[in-house]
Structure 1
Amino acid sequence: MELKLVEILVNKYLEGTSSIAEEKQLKAYFSSNEIASHLVQYKPLFSYFENQKEERFTKALPLQTKKQSYVKWIGVAAAIVVLFGTINYFYNENSKQDLGTYSSPEEAFVGTQKALEMLSEEVNHGVEGVSILKEYEKTKKTIFK
């Protein structure tokens, strides 16, 4: 290969504009023994791929990971927690005392009146908030007309 052509191809390669065919020509040139003295510095760049083709991976890979045993135990622990939680829930549901009853109708009536009065106060408080929003909407409509 001509020296000028090699220099042009090396420049194109370093700029990132070379084609695959041109890169193959460069690899062939740098794998030969006849390299110009000022281009010897580029030989490792192009001979690297040839050296890597000969390298083989010889390390043994483990087939099973140790995480599988942990996953099994985590699943068993989760199942036990769910089982105890379910048993505890049903046990507590059956042992609850009936706390919402009154012994006489008069007491029940007074308790109901108190509860309805509290509910009425909260509803009235909410209605006041809605009236403020209605006033805001009126003002907004007059401003953005």
Structure 2
Amino acid sequence: GIVPEACSTWYLPRLVGPSAALDLVLRADILDAETALAVGLVDEIHPGEDLQTQAAAIADAWTRDRSPVAVALSRQMVRRNATLTHPDQAHRIDSLAMFWTSIGDGKEGVTAFLEKRKPHFHGRASEMPDFYNDWVAGRASASAPAHRK
């Protein structure tokens, strides 16, 4: 006698696809870990005693020796661009982000790769590119940001 709530009808189809979302909602089953994995609600399952170790390993794989700016931009790009109505909109943001990182941490990343050494990134996720605030507010312009020294 109840319906889905908390914006689950918006998120669920994006996570598992519309057919699986409808099946999950109409069945209203309580899912165990294996079923959640099978339908795509979770990426991995681990025993409780191993969970913190595995979570730390994933966080390290995503962030160790990575540019904080590139990680922050990439996270937002994957989440926000997937909701845009046309790929041209995503391409504009991808291009702005590529331009920005090419004059910052991207240059260091390529140099470190060519020199076969660990990168020394200086960008900070708290200091995002000029276009970032407008973009997350839905006002990003089509022009590239001005180069800051």
Q: TM-score range by the shorter chain?
A: under 0.3
TM-score by length of 2: 0.20
More helix by share: 1
**TM-score of the superposition, structure 1-length normalised?**
0.20
Which is greater in Rg? 1
